[in-house]
Structure 1
Amino acid sequence: MLPLHENLKGKTAVITGGSGVLCSEMARELARQGVNVAIVNRTLEKGEAVAAEINSAGGCAIAVAADILDRSSLERAKDSVIDAFGKVDILINGAGGNHPDAITDVETFTEGHCQKSFFELEETGFNKVFSSNFTGTFAACQVFGKELLKQDSPVIINISSMSSYSPMTKVPAYSAAKSAINNFTMWMAVHFAETGLRVNAIAPGFFLTTQNRNLLLNEDGSHTPRSKKIITHTPMKRFGEPKDLLGTLLWLVDEEYSGFVTGITVPVDGGFMAYSGV
């Protein structure tokens, strides 16, 4: 069990996409640290399930329904958080993900193909994935940013990806959006540096989630060919577990531990980025 960070107690964290596999684990840990947690996602019932689990364990959490691509929806969510907790100290931008409409069937293009390649991707699908990962982060930062600036040591944590550094095949919209997240994190860090607002990002390696499970596991639970490539290229020879992100999260949100750290993206990847494949 991770040590308690006493100075986090009483802070308020807003987590978009907070009912997801990775962000719900973050929510539970922050609540254990004494942080008031607002789970913000489109499906209220999913957020309520996470909030109920936190509250039953002695933490303090609420669920708020909001679409990160709907500004008025985000504004209402902000009002709900302020009504409940009076402030926002931490914003974690975890909403995003991928969609089949923005994924090719083939890794590389060949003439005469009969599967979906780059040329069969629809612009609406591409835009939806890019927007949900990048534009939604931008919007949440704008909506909650003014509340963050009212606090002494506010923090934004964006969620990046391995694909931001070296784009994965088949997922061009997702890769482009996550690369933009890294750049945007640096831009915001500079823009707000003199206000005391720190902006950093976490780039998870390969974790099994609801959205990628069908890409990485066969119906019998065995690894798909794509999954085998990932494990081969990960020196620690396993997928990440949600708890693997928590130490990095606590370090970045705790002013006493990382008060001079801003504008970085931290890979939590089992060595994936360090391995050349040779």
Structure 2
Amino acid sequence: MGKLTGRVAIVTGGSRGIGKAISEKLAKEGARIVIAATTLDVAEEATGAINAAGGEAIAMQTDVTDFGSVKQTVEQTINTFGRVDILVNNAGGSARGKMSLFCDSEEETWRHVLDTNMMGVFYACRSVINHMQERGEGAIINIGSVAGMIGLASQVDYSASKGAVIAFTQALAKETASRGVRVNCVSPGPIKSDAIRDIPPEMRDNLAFRQLVDSTGLGDFGEPEDIANLVALLASDEGKFITGQNYAVCGLMNLGLNTPLAG
């Protein structure tokens, strides 16, 4: 038996990258998984892999920027499984192709990033919080970012949204601790993805890329499983005395300079 046997978990953005690793890890630990994702066919592919491996998972199309869509997913989960024990707010993203210095940025871009990263967390937590408090138990794990801790140039909107998630986590934890609901945050640094793995060797010699790798102090990026393992611990009874915390999973990146200034 896994440490999450019998529990029900909703993982937003749980069909790709870090979210997929989290869904798979929680399933291996015995949780029944609801993958809430924008693209249903991709989510169904992820749930199919979990079910084929002996787990139990279903997909629900969910737009985390739409409060009604999020509420419907939570209600459907409760109707299907009778409960929600774990909420992992993983859905999020940066401005990507529209990334720029703040002085060149556009309101539409800020709103997209803030709605996805910040409001999505608000909506999901608001949709489950009364259910968890009435039951007297629950674990919420929000996925922040090291960018929300130290700020990243050209990612002012993203840094602000993830900083808000960290502060939100701490404040909500203070409201819910006495009611049996724990709320924590995990803040990844550079994590390997298919896009990173596909970068040609000549581009890996790019100065900016090398600086990002070097910032971790470990000479490499992290794996999605590094995030998933910590999320599983925080969701389980092994983390029963942990709430209101933010865990940076980024090597040394959040600590500033990691090279000697002299010598």
| Fold agreement, TM-score > 0.5 | yes
1:1-278 superposed matches below 5 A: 5-6=2-3, 8-100=4-96, 102-104=98-100, 117-209=101-193, 213=195, 218-219=199-200, 222-223=203-204, 224-255=206-237, 257-277=238-258, 278=260
CA–CA distance in 2 between the matches of 1:5 and 1:72?
Answer: 33
The TM-score, its normalising length taken from structure 2, stands at 0.91
Aligned partner of residue 62 in structure 1, secondary structure: strand
The TM-score, its normalising length taken from structure 1, stands at 0.87
- Displacement of 1:118 in angstroms is 2.6
Aligned partner of residue 243 in structure 2, secondary structure: coil
Amino acid at match of 1:253: A
Call closer, same or farther: CA 1:275–1:123 in 2, change over 3 Å: closer
CA–CA distance in 1 between the matches of 2:70 and 2:186?
Answer: 23
Among all aligned residue pairs of Structure 1 and Structure 2, give the percentage whose two residues are the same amino acid. Answer: 30
CA–CA distance in 2 between the matches of 1:225 and 1:163?
Answer: 20
Contact kept? 1:235, 1:270, Cα under 8 Å: yes
- Displacement of 1:228 in angstroms is 1.0
Contact kept? 2:18, 2:228, Cα under 8 Å: no
Contact kept? 2:136, 2:179, Cα under 8 Å: no
CA–CA distance in 2 between the matches of 1:221 and 1:37?
Answer: 40
Aligned partner of residue 35 in structure 2, secondary structure: strand
Runs of at least 5 residues in structure 1 that lack an aligned partner in the other structure: 105-116
Amino acid at match of 2:163: S
Contact kept? 1:168, 1:175, Cα under 8 Å: yes
RMSD over equivalenced CA pairs, Å: 1.9
Aligned partner of residue 135 in structure 2, secondary structure: coil
Amino acid at match of 2:228: L
Contact kept? 1:88, 1:151, Cα under 8 Å: no
Q: Can you list the C-alpha shifts for 1:79-128, whole angstroms capped at 9, x where unaligned? A: 22122211100000001101246511xxxxxxxxxxxx433211011111
Q: Which has the higher helix share?
A: 2
